[in-house]
C-alpha cells in the first residue's frame, strides 16, 4: 500500500513502439521526483564496427542500425561518403532518393499512426481488436502502409535494407511504365490518408510545454538538402550542426541525449511542420489547409497529426515525380575513392539524422559520427513525462490512468530505440556520476559515437 | 469453440528489428488471414495488454543474444514454447550484432565499460548457441517466402486449418 501521493510507475518494455525501452517515474509527496526513459536495448557497437571498412560498402552496414528507418541511414551515409569523396550524383539519382524517402515516410508513419497510435485514440488495445469493430478502417490503413512499402520496393529494391541505392547512383532504375502504375496505386491510397488525417486531427489530446524544434528547411519540404533551422528563428548550414550540440550522458540508459545551445529540443514531423509547412506540396495544402492552422504547435500529440499530413504530402510529391519524370536507364559505375571528410544530413521519419565521416586514401572509413533523432529527443521526452505526470497528479488522477497517459505521450514521439542505442561511448568518470552530466564541446567528442 | 489457432509470440533481442518490419509489411496482405489463424501471445509491437509467452505453440526469436538478461529470457521462452523459430541474420548467424566478437584488443578495451555496465556477455551468441532451435528463417532482413513456408509447416504440425 502506498501512501497518498507516493508511488512509482515502472513500465517494463513499453509496447507499440520500435525497440525496447522502460519508463520509470517516481512520485513522492505528490511531486514528481524523476521521470526516466531507460533505453534497455542492447548496443551493437556499429561505431567501432565500421572502422576500416570500405566507404563504398559501409552504407549497407549502417543500414542495419535500424530496420524501420534503414533507408534514412542508407541515404544519409551515402550522402556523407559522396561529400567526403567529391562525388556529385546525377539529377535522376536525386529524384530516386527523394522517392525512396517518400516511400519510407509513408510506410513508417503509417506503421506508427495506424498500428501503434490508432488503438490509443479509439480506446482499443490493438489493431486486432479494432479490426473486429471496423474492418474497412483497417483495410484502408493497410492500403496506405502498403503503398509506401511498394514505392520503396519499386524504386530501391526493398523497403528494409534497400539494395539499389549506392554511392554515386542507383544500380537499377525503374521504368516509366512502373512509375505511372505506382502513381495510380498512390492516388488510390491518398483518399484514405486524408481520412486518417481527419481522424487524428479530431482526436488529439492537448499537452503543451514550451520547447524548441529543429529540422531541415528547404523549398519543397524534402528530406534531403537545405539548412538546419530552429523555431527560435535562426538557421545554420548543415555542416555546422555539431558545433551547436552538447552531448548529455544519461547513466541509466544505453543511449545518449543531446542539447542544442544548452537547451532541450525536439526533432521529427512536428518540428518539420512547425518550421516548414509553407513548403508542403500544393495539393496537400489545398486539401489540408484547415489543419495547417494548428501549427506551429507545442503540443507533442500534434506530432501524430504532422505525420498524418506528411503521409499525404509524400504521396503528392511521389505522384508528381512518378508522373512527370522520364526515367532513363543509367549504367552504375563504381566511383573512384579518395581521402576526405564529409557530412550527410537527412530528415528521417523521427527527425534530423546526421552523419559525419572521414575516409582514408584507400577509401576506407576512419570514423563515423552520428546524431540520431530519438537521442536528440530524449531529454525533451523526459521533461514532458515529468510534466504530464505532475499535471495529472494535480488534477487528482490515479496511478493507472497516469501510467496510461505517460505511455501515450512517449508513443507520440514515435521513438526509435534501435537507432538510439548504437552510437555512443561513455567516459568512465561520467559513468560513475549518478546525475547526468552535459559533456561540453568540442565536437570531436562525437567521434566516439 | 472456434477452430484451433496457432499460439504465437514474437520477441526481439540484439538486432535492428528489420524482420519485425518485414512481418509488419506482410500484414498488409495477410492481416485478416492471420487474425483468424494466429493467437498472438507475447507480441509487443501489436498489442499492449496480456503479453505473455505461456502456452505459445511457437515463439519467433529475432536477434542475437548479447546480454545475461537476454540469455535467461530466451531459456525461459524455450521452456514456455513448443517450438522456437530463429528469425533473421542476427538470430541465425549472430551478425551483424556479433561484430564485437572479432574486435581487436584496443577496440575491445574501448567498449568494455558498456559491456560491463549493462551486463553484456563476453561474446554475442546466435539463438541456437543458447537453446534448441526448431526452424530458422535467415536473411537480413528475413526472407519473406521462407517465413511464409515455415508458417505453413507450423500450421500443419499444429493442425491449424
Residue predicted with more confidence, B57 or A418: B57
Residue predicted with more confidence, A311 or A446: A311
Looking at residue A400, its pLDDT comes to: 86
HEC profile of chain A: CCCCCCEEEEECCCCCCECCEEEEEEEECCEEEEEEEEECCCCCCHHHHCCCCEHHHHHHHHHHHCCCCHHHHHHHHHHHHHHHHCCCCCHHHHHHHHHHHHHHHHHHHHHHHHHHHHHHHCCCCEHHHHHHHCHHHHHHHHHHHHHHHHHHHHHHCCCCCCCCEECCEECCCCCHHHHHHHHHHHHHHHHHHHHHHHHHHHCCCCCECCCEEEEEECCCCCCECCEEEECCCCEECHHHHHHHEEEEECCCCCCEEEEECCECEECCHHHHHHHHHHHCCHHHHHHHHHHHCCCCCCECCHHHHHHHHHHHHHHHHHHHHHHHCCCCCCCCCCCCCCCEEEEEEEEECCEEEEEEEEECCCCEEEEEEEECHHHHHHHHHHHHHHHHHHHHHHCCCCHHHHHHHHHHHHHHCCCEHHHHHCCCCCCHHHHHCCCCEEECCCHHHHHHC
Looking at residue A444, its pLDDT comes to: 30
A119 near B CB under 8 A: yes
pLDDT band at A442 (very low <50, low <70, confident <90, very high): very low
| Mean pLDDT taken over chain A | 88
Which one of A41, A67, A123, A426 makes the best mutation probe of the B interface by having the most chain B beta carbons within 10 Å?
A67
pLDDT band at A302 (very low <50, low <70, confident <90, very high): very high
Counting Cβ atoms within 10 Å, is residue B145 exposed (0-12), middle (13-18) or buried (19+)?
A: exposed
ipTM of the complex: 0.95
B15 CB neighbours in chain A (<8 A) are 67, 418
Name the residue of chain B whose CA is nearest to A131's CA. B32
- Rounded distance, CA A416 to CA A374, Å? 6
> Could you say which of B51, B100, B141 has the minimum Cβ distance to residue A45?
B100
Cβ–Cβ below 8 Å for A160 and B18: yes
pTM > 0.90? yes
Above 90 in pLDDT, residue A238?
Answer: no
- Asked whether the beta carbons of A46 and A66 are under 8 A apart, the reply is no
Question: Tens digit of pLDDT for each residue in A417-441?
Answer: 666 654 433 222 223 333 334 333 3
Above 80 in pLDDT, residue A4?
Answer: no
Cβ–Cβ below 8 Å for A48 and B114: no
Question: Tens digit of pLDDT for each residue in A109-125?
Answer: 999 999 999 998 999 99
A188 CB neighbours in chain B (<8 A) are none
| Strand A169-170 relative to strand A165-166, pairing | antiparallel
Of A29-33, A271-275, A355-359, B58-62, the least confident: A29-33
Cβ–Cβ below 8 Å for B46 and A68: no
A111 CB neighbours in chain B (<8 A) are 21, 24
**What nine digits make up the cell of A366?**
576512419
Looking at residue A2, its pLDDT comes to: 53
Residue predicted with more confidence, A315 or A203: A315
**What nine digits make up the cell of B33?**
488471414
Above 90 in pLDDT, residue A23?
Answer: no
Cβ–Cβ below 8 Å for B107 and A126: no
Residue predicted with more confidence, A27 or B154: B154
Cα A280 to Cα A123, A268, A285, A321, A367, distances in angstroms: 32, 15, 6, 15, 36
- Percentage of chain B surpassing pLDDT 90? 87
A70 CB neighbours in chain B (<8 A) are 16, 18
- Percentage of chain A surpassing pLDDT 90? 65
Question: Tens digit of pLDDT for each residue in B64-101?
Answer: 999 999 999 999 999 999 999 999 999 999 999 999 99
- Rounded distance, CA A292 to CA A313, Å? 12
B70 CB neighbours in chain A (<8 A) are 42
Looking at residue B2, its pLDDT comes to: 66
Amino acid at each position: 500500500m502506498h501512501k497518498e501521493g507516493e508511488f512509482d510507475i515502472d513500465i517494463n518494455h513499453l509496447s507499440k513502439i520500435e525497440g525496447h525501452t522502460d519508463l520509470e517515474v517516481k512520485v513522492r509527496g505528490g511531486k514528481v521526483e524523476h521521470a526516466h526513459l531507460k533505453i534497455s536495448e542492447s548496443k551493437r557497437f556499429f561505431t567501432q564496427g565500421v572502422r576500416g571498412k570500405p566507404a563504398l560498402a559501409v552504407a549497407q552496414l549502417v543500414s542495419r542500425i535500424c530496420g524501420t528507418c534503414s533507408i534514412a541511414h542508407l541515404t544519409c551515409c551515402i550522402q556523407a561518403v559522396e561529400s567526403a569523396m567529391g562525388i556529385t550524383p546525377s539529377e535522376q539519382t536525386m529524384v530516386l532518393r527523394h522517392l525512396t524517402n517518400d516511400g519510407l515516410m509513408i510506410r513508417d508513419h503509417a506503421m506508427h499512426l495506424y498500428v501503434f497510435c490508432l488503438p490509443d485514440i479509439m480506446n482499443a488495445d490493438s489493431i486486432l481488436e479494432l479490426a473486429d469493430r471496423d474492418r474497412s478502417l483497417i483495410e484502408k490503413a493497410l492500403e496506405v502502409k502498403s503503398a509506401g512499402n511498394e514505392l520503396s520496393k519499386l524504386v530501391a529494391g526493398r523497403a528494409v535494407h534497400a539494395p539499389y541505392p549506392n554511392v554515386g547512383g542507383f544500380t537499377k532504375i525503374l521504368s516509366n511504365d512502373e512509375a505511372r502504375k505506382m502513381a495510380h496505386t498512390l492516388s488510390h491510397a491518398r483518399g484514405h490518408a486524408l481520412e486518417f488525417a481527419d481522424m487524428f486531427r479530431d482526436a488529439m489530446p492537448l499537452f503543451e510545454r514550451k520547447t524548441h524544434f529543429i529540422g531541415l528547411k528547404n523549398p519543397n519540404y524534402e528530406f534531403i538538402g537545405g539548412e538546419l533551422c530552429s523555431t527560435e528563428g535562426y538557421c545554420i548550414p548543415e555542416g555546422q550542426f555539431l558545433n551547436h550540440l552538447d552531448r548529455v550522458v544519461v547513466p541509466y540508459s544505453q543511449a545518449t541525449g543531446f542539447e542544442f545551445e544548452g537547451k532541450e529540443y525536439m526533432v521529427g514531423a512536428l518540428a518539420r511542420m512547425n518550421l516548414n509547412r509553407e513548403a508542403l506540396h500544393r495539393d496537400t495544402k489545398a486539401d489540408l489547409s484547415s489543419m495547417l492552422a494548428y501549427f506551429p504547435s507545442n503540443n507533442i500529440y500534434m506530432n501524430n497529426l504532422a505525420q498524418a499530413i506528411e503521409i499525404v504530402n509524400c504521396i503528392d510529391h511521389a505522384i508528381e515525380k512518378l508522373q512527370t519524370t522520364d526515367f532513363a536507364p543509367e549504367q552504375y559505375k563504381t566511383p573512384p575513392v579518395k581521402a576526405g571528410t564529409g557530412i550527410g544530413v537527412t530528415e528521417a521519419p523521427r527527425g534530423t539524422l546526421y552523419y559525419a565521416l572521414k575516409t582514408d586514401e584507400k577509401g576506407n572509413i576512419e570514423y563515423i559520427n552520428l546524431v540520431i533523432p530519438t537521442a536528440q529527443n530524449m531529454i525533451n521526452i523526459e521533461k514532458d513525462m515529468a510534466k504530464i505526470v505532475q499535471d495529472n497528479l494535480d488534477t487528482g488522477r490515479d496511478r493507472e490512468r497516469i501510467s496510461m497517459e505517460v505511455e501515450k505521450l512517449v508513443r507520440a514521439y514515435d521513438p526509435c530505440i534501435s537507432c538510439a542505442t548504437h552510437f555512443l561511448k561513455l567516459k568512465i568518470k561520467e559513468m560513475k556520476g549518478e546525475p547526468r552530466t552535459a559533456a561540453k564541446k568540442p565536437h570531436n567528442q562525437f567521434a566516439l559515437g | 469453440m472456434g477452430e484451433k489457432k496457432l499460439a504465437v509470440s514474437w520477441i526481439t533481442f540484439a538486432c535492428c528489428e528489420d524482420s519485425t518490419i518485414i512481418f509488419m509489411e506482410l500484414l498488409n496482405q495477410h492481416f485478416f488471414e492471420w487474425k483468424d489463424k494466429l493467437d498472438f501471445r507475447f507480441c509487443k509491437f501489436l498489442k499492449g495488454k496480456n503479453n505473455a509467452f505461456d502456452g505459445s505453440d511457437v515463439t519467433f526469436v529475432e536477434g542475437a543474444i548479447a546480454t545475461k538478461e537476454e540469455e535467461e529470457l530466451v531459456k525461459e521462452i524455450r521452456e514456455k514454447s513448443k517450438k522456437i523459430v530463429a528469425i533473421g541474420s542476427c538470430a541465425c548467424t549472430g551478425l551483424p550484432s556479433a561484430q564485437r566478437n572479432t574486435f581487436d584488443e584496443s577496440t575491445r578495451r574501448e567498449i568494455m565499460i558498456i559491456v560491463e555496465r549493462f551486463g553484456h556477455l563476453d561474446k554475442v551468441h546466435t539463438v541456437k548457441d543458447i537453446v534448441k532451435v526448431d526452424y530458422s528463417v535467415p536473411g537480413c532482413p528475413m526472407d519473406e517466402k521462407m517465413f511464409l513456408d515455415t508458417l505453413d509447416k507450423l500450421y500443419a504440425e499444429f493442425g491449424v486449418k
